[in-house]
Amino acid sequence: MLARRAARELTLILFSQLEENVKQYKKEDFNKIVIDSVRTLTNNAYEDLKLQSSSVVEMIEYIDEYESNHPTNLARPIESNDVPVPIPLTSDMTGRLTAIADVCEKAFAALEIAEMSVLEENSDTKTYIRKITDSYVKNKQEIDSTIQRLSVGWDFSRLVKTDKDILRIAITELLMVKEAPVKVVIDEAVELAKRYSTEDSASFINAILAKVVKENELD
């Protein structure tokens, strides 16, 4: 469900604003924290778009120059307009186009999430964010202990906070909230890791959650 996917992404940003001891989390400040999380998400998307826009300008300039200097147009009268010509698609240009497409997708998602979570006072997105956050705060010691115990060979205190927060969200969903299918929770936790952390993080998170599923005999 899109509302839950949006909730997971915003909850990850929300968790980044909480102190490790979560003493600063107050339910009465929930709406403000959600709005701040949305603002962070949309600002990040805006900055990414602004950064990638320079690549668009560079490619436009390259294409214009390539077209003007192509033998077909050089052979035409000076006063005539250039005609379209085939353009070679290099791996560099393909990479830039892919990056731009990824950023655009991220920006569209950010705007959709913002609309879903902020414009509707009692939206499904806000409701699910609150369920995850309240459940984690209530069961923080148990959840963090689970992560520490299953992270064999890893120092919990030195794990990247983003990775810990993704695991906290997923484990809270799996063991406390129990509303989403197990596979969906794991798949989206891995996607969050790929989007906000690293490929290694995605593999690590997938392995930890697999242990949680096996240990708790989750379907």
E strand or H helix at 45? helix 30-68
Distance CA 90, CA 88 (A): 6
Distance CA 45, CA 106 (A): 6
For the stretch 105-143, pLDDT in tens is 766 666 666 655 554 555 788 888 889 988 998 999 999
| Residue carrying the six token digits 């731009």 | 100
The count of other CB atoms within 10 Å of the CB of residue 33 is 20
- C-alpha dist (Å) from residue 75 to 63, 79, 82, 85: 18, 12, 10, 13
Q: Which CATH number describes the domain made up of 139-219?
A: 1.10.940.10
Among 197, 194, 125, 137, smallest CA distance to 168 is for 137
For the stretch 149-208, pLDDT in tens is 998 877 777 788 899 999 999 999 999 999 999 999 999 999 999 888 887 899 999 999
**DSSP designation for 82:** P
The model carries a pTM of: 0.66
